[in-house]
Structure formats: C-alpha cells, structure tokens
Amino acid sequence: MKRIFYSILLLISLYSCGKKDKFECGVQNEMAPADDSSSLFIPNAFSPDGNGLNDVFVPFTRNMDSVHFAVYDTDNRLIFETHELYKGWMPDNAESGLTLYHYKVMAKSHQGYTYNRCGDFYVYKCLPKGFDASTLVFGDQYDPNAPDGYLKGSSAETFLLCK
C-alpha cells in the first residue's frame, strides 16, 4: 500500500511525461515489485543560493546499484548528464524567479528492478506573484522512513516573493 501511494504521489507532484510542451521522454512510471526495498525520490524544486540547503538538484536513491540522470532545458537540450549515484546538478547561472527544467532518471535497484522517471522541476530564486509554494517539494523534505517518502510542508526553505 505504501509503495502504491508513493507512486501516485510521484505522478501527481512531478507531472506526467509526454506533456504538450514538447518534452516527450517516452518513460513509463511503473511500480516496483513488493519485494524490492529500493526507492527513488525526485524533488520538483531546488534553490542554488549557496546556503547549503537544497543547493543541488539530485535524485535521492535507496538500495540502488546504478543511475543515469539527465537534465534538459525548456528547448529539450541536454545540459547535464551523469552515471554517478548521488551526483547532482547546479546551474552555472540561475535566472531570478522560477526557471523550469526537465529531467530523466533511470536507476537499477539491488534486486534488479529498473526505475524510470521523467518530469519537470524548478530552479527557485523567488516566487512569482500568485505561484502556489505548496506545490514545490525540495530535497530536504525527503525521508525514506516517512509514510509517503517525504515530509509534507516541512522544507526549511525561505520563500521570497519576486520584486
């Protein structure tokens, strides 16, 4: 039941792949077998402001043997790619406000299950007027022991409004 809810949560919070905005990644979000103890959590926002909190966009994995992680800009150009577990991406020059990017992640668990995920995420500098901050999920909210895989509403980020 926990795994089903977590999968649904990922789909809702990270949007769907193959949207109308040209980012078609051809990835299916499937549930892992019940006997697979691994997990994959991908935030939908991070804030590269140098304060040591959520400064890098990285997929959080547990009990994984390998990962392929790629970041694309809104024109679907590959701007970052790695096969290293726990290696993340930080933009060279983040714009102000919220900047949209796309990701693809393929991770293989110790038990041999392959996780495939894709979606959108934001580089957060400040919130545009009218943007609902409750839709942002940061890496500091990840807790593999939490019932849903993350702690709702518990990010330590300070939400600033854009001027």
* pLDDT, position 71: 97
Strand partners, 127: 161
Q: How far apart are CA 2 and CA 20, in angstroms?
A: 31
3 state SS for 75-132: CCCEEEEECCCCCCECCCCCCCCEEEEEEEEEEEECCCCEEEEEEEEEEECCECCCCC
Provide the pLDDT for residue 75.
Answer: 93
pLDDT at 31: 67
Q: How confident is the model at residue 64 (pLDDT cuts 50, 70, 90)?
A: very high
* pTM of the shown model: 0.79
Q: What is the mean pLDDT of the chain?
A: 82
Residue 58 has pLDDT above 70, yes or no: yes
User: What's the pLDDT tens digit per position in 138-156?
Assistant: 999 998 887 767 777 779 9
pLDDT at 146: 77
Q: Which residue has the tokens 């804030």?
A: 47
Give the H or E element holding residue 41.
Answer: strand 39-41
